Amino acid sequence: MDRTYNYHFTPPKGWMNDPNGMVYIDGVYHLFYQHYPHDIVWGPMHWGHAVSTDLLHWEHKPIAIYPTEEEYIFSGSCVYDKENVSGLGTKEQPPLLAFYTAHNPITGEEQQSIAYSTDFETFTKYEGNPVIENEKYMAGDEAKENPAFKKDFRDPKVFRNPVKGGFTMVLAAGHQLEFYHSMNLLSWEKTGEFAPKEGVIDICECPDCFPLETEEGTKWILMLSRTSHIMPYYVGMFDGNTFVEEKDEFEENVNPPLLDYASDNYAMVTFANCPGPLMLGWGESWDYVSQTPAKNYRGKMTMARKAQLLKTEKGWRLRFAPATLSGIAKKDVWQGVLQPGEHKEFLLSEGKKLVLSVTKEEILVDRSNAGDLSFSEYLQTKAAWFLAKRIKTGNCNITVIQDNGYFEIFADDGLVVFSVMTY
């Protein structure tokens, strides 16, 4: 049986993963997403589409962008081109531009392309695609007849450039990120790179870059997903060409903080054209999602989250909160305080329980006895519990939203978040 959720978006059928092109226009939130409608496992990627006015109830729309045999429609972002600088609409009907990675399933080559729409539902692929070509290069004598190309070159996120004017695109490029600039959204020039300080253990995916106001002025957040299935973020500045990370004064902060400290959230990105940073992610894990019990569909999104940047005793940290609690049944929300040494049990069916524990230094979420883990060895050995260091001291203020076995836990006033699925 398929699981039904009250507050979390799911596809009408088939497979769903990363959110794409999320944008807010005239009171309507548009959610595009990676979608394969013909099976409950990953396949040739389409862009699915849904809309909402409250971020809780969603209306399914027709598929926005279809693949071809030579072009799968991978992740990306949308820009509402209000001034029609692209010329792909009119002043009376400004276009919505969908930037996506065109993935060639035959060669593996990835390039950045555009589809556009003036009714925000029916999209036309731009005849000038790709707008950013992959770089061909020779990789030694053996490759002379078969030029190589840049690997893992994908997931364009486009945002307005407050320094140079126009727009900037941040793009995943293997073990680093690349930045491009354009005045018309069609012609792009590379302006910079950013390499995560923790090295090249795995590749980058689904980057995002946006400003936040703080007590010390405007700071920028750069966040991304890694193929080790974690989502780090960095605090710094955007100089118009690239992101520059702020030096961390705390020696113990060897690794960057994470958007989420559990495994059931990935590829989290923000809505474009939104008054404040509002984001959601794919509420699953690549490590076991294809094994989870399902019949007609697989995949769900997290609830939308709002964010602010606070200076804490351990450095700058994002503080998250649900975008709304209005419309969520009281029985599905728990708000409380745990003192160090205390724990809270969330009872499930047949005596199963999810356990949340707090110490002076750490927060632990234990799902080892929260349901069936037998279908996945990874679940049993590497994802049965999650541990994160606390940001605050003393008592721990917590908000928990549960929706038919899916828990979103905002601990330490939202400075430490866990998204945990139970089965």
What is the average pLDDT value for the chain, to the nearest integer?
94
Structure tokens belonging to residue 23:
């944008």
User: What is the C-alpha to C-alpha distance for residues 91 and 323, in angstroms, rounded to an integer?
Assistant: 32
What's the pLDDT tens digit per position in 78-122? 999 999 999 999 999 999 999 999 999 999 999 999 999 999 999
* Mean pLDDT to the nearest integer, 258-285: 97
Q: Looking at domain 331-421, which of 3.40.50.1240, 2.60.120.560, 3.40.50.300, 3.40.50.2300 is its CATH number?
A: 2.60.120.560
Which has the closest alpha carbon to 195: 174, 218, 167, 166? 174
> ω into residue 211 within 30 of 0, thus cis?
no
Query: Beta strands 153-160 and 148-149: pairing type?
Result: unpaired
pLDDT digits (tens, 9 = 90+) for 312-333: 999 999 999 999 999 999 999 9
Among 18, 81, 366, 412, the one annotated catalytic: 18
The residues of the chain that CATH labels 2.60.120.560 are: 331-421
From residue 280, give the alpha-carbon distance in Å to each of 114, 275, 342, 376.
23, 15, 30, 26
- Give the pLDDT band (50/70/90) at residue 276: confident
Tell me, yes or no, if the pTM score tops 0.85. Answer: yes
Tell me what pLDDT residue 251 has: 65
User: What's the whole-number mean pLDDT along residues 298-308?
Assistant: 98
Q: Any residues with CB less than 8 A from the CB of 358 and at least 6 apart, and which?
A: 338, 339, 340, 341, 342, 343, 364, 390, 396, 411
pLDDT tens per residue across span 32-84:
999 999 999 999 999 999 999 999 999 999 999 999 999 999 999 999 999 99
> Is 26 marked active-site?
no
Tell me the per-residue pLDDT of 339-378, one tens digit each, with 9 for 90 and over. 999 999 999 988 899 999 999 999 999 999 999 999 999 9
Q: Which pLDDT score, from 0 to 100, does residue 3 have?
A: 87
Please list the residue range(s) of the chain that carry CATH number 2.115.10.20: 14-327
Q: Tell me how far apart the alpha carbons of residues 311 and 319 are, in angstroms, rounded to a whole number.
A: 10
Strand partners, 200: none
Instruction: Report domain 14-327's class.
Output: mainly beta
Asked whether residue 138 carries a pLDDT value surpassing 90, the answer given is no
